[in-house]
A and B are shown apart, each in its own frame.
Chain A
Amino acid sequence: MEILASSIVAGLLFGMVLALVALGLTIIFGVMDIINFAHGEFLMFGMYTALLTSQALGIDPLLTLPLAALVGFLLGIVCYRGFITYILRGPMIAQLLGTFGLMLLLRNIALLVFGSEDRAVHQGLLVDKSFEMGLGIIVPATKLAGAGLSVVAFIGVWLLMTKTRMGKALTATALNPQGARYMGISTEKMNALAWGIGGASVTVAGALIVNFWPVNPYVGLLFTMIAFAIVALGGFGSVPGAFAAALVVGLITEIPGFWDFLTYTLEMDWMYDVPMTSFKYMWIYVAYFIIMVVRPRGLFGWKH
C-alpha cells in the first residue's frame, strides 16, 4: 500500500510540473489554432539555461528561473515574428511541417552548441535531499519544489490570462480574432504575446525539470508528445483542463511502476518478461487516442 501511495504522490507531483509544460502549448493552440512541434525544444532550452547559468555562476538552479523565463519569452517572440507569422495563413500541413522544421532547427543548434552528452545538475540546495511525508512516502526535494513552483507559475499565468486587461484581450483573440480586431485589439501583437507567454512558461518548467532529469538535445520530443496528449485530454485551448489532464497523465506515468512491484511481490511470473514501466509512455498515447475518439473536444474543451 505504501508503494501505491508513493506512486500516486509521485504521479501527482510530476503531473503538476507537466501542467506547466502543457500550459504554453494550450495557450498557443487556443489563440491561433497551431500545433507547435518545437514545444519540447523550448523546454530543452529552459533546461540548458538553468543548468549552464547555475554552473557558471555557482548558484542554485532554482535561482535561475527568472532568466529562464526571459529566455523563453524572447525565444517565443523571435520564433513568432521570424517564422510562425509567415506560416499562419498557409494550409494546415505547412503549419505542422513548418513547426517540425523549427523543432529540428532548435534541436540541432543545441547539438552544435552544447554537444550530445547527457548533463545533470549535481549541486544545489535541494539535490539529494528528500522529505518524508508520513505513511512511508519519501519524496525527493527537487520534485516537491518543482511541483510547488509549477503550481505557483501556473496560477500566475492563469490569473494573468483571466484578470488583467491584456489577458482578456488575449482570450478575446482566441475566441474570435476578427471580432477582437474590430474592438481595436492588435491580434498580431496578441499572437506574439501568446508565443512569449507560452515560451516563458515552458522554459520555466524546463528549469524546474532539470533538477531531477538529465538534459541532452534529444530530450524535447518526449515532452512534446506528452504535452500534446495533455492538451488533447484537457481540451485544446482549455487552461484548467490542461491542469486536470496533466495530473491524470502524471498518474499514468507513475502507476506502471507500482504494477511491476505487484508482479514481483505476488510472483506473477507470466508478467516478468514485460515490465509495465517500459510501456509507461505508451499508456499516455493510448489514453489520448481513446479520449480523442470518444470525446474529441477533450475533457474540458470548448474549441473544435
Chain B
Amino acid sequence: MEALKNAFDFSDQPRLDLTIAAGVALFLLTFPLLPVSAFALATMIQFFIFSLYGMGWNTIGGYGGQVDLGKAQYVGIGAYTTTILLIRWDIPFWFSMPIGVVLAVTWSFIIGYPLFRLKGHYFAIATIATSLVLKDIFEVWEFVGAARGLEISPIEYTPPDFLRLIFKEDIYYYYVLFVFFLVGILYLNWFRKSRLGYQLRAIKDNEDVARSLGINVHWAKIKTYAIATAYVSVVGSFHACYIKAIEPEDTMSLDISILIALMAMLGGAGSLWGPIIGAGILIPLKSYLKEWLGGVAGLTGMDLILYAVIIMVISAKEPRGVWGIVERVRRRKQT
C-alpha cells in the first residue's frame, strides 16, 4: 500500500512539469480519436514502445550510470517466448508475457553476474557481445525459425482478441500500450524513490564511497539490471503480437540496443521524463524522415545520414540531453 502511494506521489516535481505532463497525457489519450492517418498512429505506437524500452534502460543506464548496449537480446527473448508459446501451444499473451519475463530475468542474472565485474567501456562492449551471441544462436536454431524468423498468422484468430492481443485495428494496440506506458511511469516513479534507487545513484556518483557505506554494489547493479530487463521483455512480448512477424535481425540487432540507449540519452539519462522526451523527439523524426526521403530515388540512406548527423551533434553539443538544458535554465533562474 505504501509502495502504491509512493508510485502515485509526484509531489517533488515542479508544478510546471506536472501540468505539461498532464497535458501530454490528455493529448495521448485523445490522439487516436482525432482524424489522424494510420501512419501517424503506427508512429505513436513506436513512440510508446521505445519510450518503455528507454524507461527500462534508464533504471540501469541512467540512474545507475552503467552503459548497457545489449538490451536488444531481451527484446528478442520476450518476443520469441510469446510467439512460440502462441503458435505452438496457443498460450495467450497474458500468460506468455510473464513467462517471457521470467526467462529474460533468469538470463539477465546468468550473464549479469560476470558482466558487472566489468566497468566502463569493458562493460559496454561485453553487453554488445552477449547480445550478438544470442542473436547468432537464434539465427541458426531451427526450433525458433532460424534466420527466417516466426510469423503469427492473424487468420486463425478472431479479432479483437484481448486475451491473445490480436487485433485488426491499431487503435486497440494503442490503448493497451498506453496502459503499459502509464504503469511504466508509475513504477519508475516508485523506483527512483525506493531504497534501491537511492543506492544506485550513490553507486553512480562514487562506487567506492557507496561500498564503504555498506551498499552491496554488485548485487544492487544485478537487481536493477533485472528490472530493466523486465521492462524490455514485456514490451518485446507486446512487439511480437503487434508486428506478428519476428526475426533475429529486427528484434535483436545492435541498432535496436543503440537506439534504446540513444533515446534515454537524448532526453536526459537519469531523469524521470528523459526517455519519454527522447522517444517523443527521435521516433517521429526517424519515421517521418524515412517516409519523406526513404522513397526518393537516388537518395537511399539520406534519411539515415540526417539521423546520424543529429546523433553526432547531440553527443558533441549536449550530451546530457534535453533534460540537461532544462535543468541548466532552471539553475540560472534560481541564482
Is B194 an interface residue, CB under 8 A from the partner?
Answer: no
Is B191 an interface residue, CB under 8 A from the partner?
Answer: no
Whether A35 contacts B315 in the complex (CB less than 8 A), given A100-B258, A104-B304, A289-B130, comes out as no
How far is B311's CA from A293's CA once the two chains are assembled, in angstroms? 31
Are the CB atoms of A87 and B129 closer together than 8 Å? no
Residues 129-149 of A contacting B (Cβ, < 8 Å): none
Partner of A97, one of B122, B132, B139, B265: B265
**Which 5 residue pairs spanning A and B have beta carbons closest together?**
A101-B311, A94-B319, A98-B315, A104-B308, A108-B301
Interface string of B298-335 (1 = CB under 8 A from A): 01111011011111101111011000000000000000
How far is B136's CA from A228's CA once the two chains are assembled, in angstroms? 17
Q: Report chain B residues within 8 Å CB of A279.
A: 136-137, 140
Is A267 an interface residue, CB under 8 A from the partner?
Answer: no
Chain B interface main SS type:
helix
Q: Report chain B residues within 8 Å CB of A101.
A: 308-312, 315
Are the CB atoms of A282 and B118 closer together than 8 Å? no
Is A96 an interface residue, CB under 8 A from the partner?
Answer: yes
Is A219 an interface residue, CB under 8 A from the partner?
Answer: no
Is A90 an interface residue, CB under 8 A from the partner?
Answer: yes
In the complex formed, the residue of B with least CB distance to A225 is B132
Are the CB atoms of B114 and A90 closer together than 8 Å? no
Which candidate, A13-21, A60-68, A109-117, is the interface stretch facing chain B? A109-117
How far is B308's CA from A107's CA once the two chains are assembled, in angstroms? 10
Binding site for A on B (CB under 8 A): 61, 67, 69, 114-115, 117-118, 120-122, 124-126, 128-130, 132-133, 136-137, 139-140, 142, 254, 258, 261-262, 265, 269, 299-302, 304-305, 307-312, 314-317, 319-320
In the complex formed, the residue of A with least CB distance to B310 is A101
Are the CB atoms of A292 and B118 closer together than 8 Å? yes
Q: Report chain A residues within 8 Å CB of B269.
A: 93
Q: Report chain B residues within 8 Å CB of A288.
A: 125-126, 129
Are the CB atoms of B133 and A96 closer together than 8 Å? no
Are the CB atoms of A98 and B316 closer together than 8 Å? yes
Binding site for B on A (CB under 8 A): 29, 33, 35, 83, 86-87, 90-98, 100-105, 107-109, 111-112, 115-116, 217, 221, 225, 228-229, 232, 236, 273-274, 278-279, 281-282, 285-286, 288-289, 292-293, 296
Give chain B nearest CB distance to A290 CB in angstroms.
9
Whether A278 contacts B315 in the complex (CB less than 8 A), given A292-B126, A296-B122, comes out as no
Are the CB atoms of B129 and A289 closer together than 8 Å? yes
Are the CB atoms of B69 and A96 closer together than 8 Å? yes
Given contacts A96-B121, A109-B301, A293-B118, 19 further A-B contacts (CB under 8 A): A86-B317, A93-B61, A97-B261, A97-B265, A100-B311, A104-B305, A104-B307, A105-B305, A105-B309, A107-B301, A112-B302, A225-B132, A232-B125, A279-B137, A279-B140, A281-B136, A285-B132, A288-B126, A292-B126
Give chain A nearest CB distance to B55 CB in angstroms.
16
Are the CB atoms of A83 and B61 closer together than 8 Å? no
Are the CB atoms of A102 and B312 closer together than 8 Å? yes
Are the CB atoms of B261 and A93 closer together than 8 Å? yes
Are the CB atoms of A97 and B315 closer together than 8 Å? yes
Are the CB atoms of B262 and A97 closer together than 8 Å? yes
Q: Report chain A residues within 8 Å CB of B67.
A: 92-93, 96
Give chain A nearest CB distance to B66 CB in angstroms.
10
Are the CB atoms of A116 and B300 closer together than 8 Å? yes
Whether A97 contacts B118 in the complex (CB less than 8 A), given A279-B136, A289-B133, comes out as no
Are the CB atoms of A108 and B137 closer together than 8 Å? no
How far is B118's CA from A273's CA once the two chains are assembled, in angstroms? 35
In the complex formed, the residue of B with least CB distance to A101 is B311
How far is B222's CA from A267's CA once the two chains are assembled, in angstroms? 44
Q: Report chain B residues within 8 Å CB of A98.
A: 311-312, 315-316
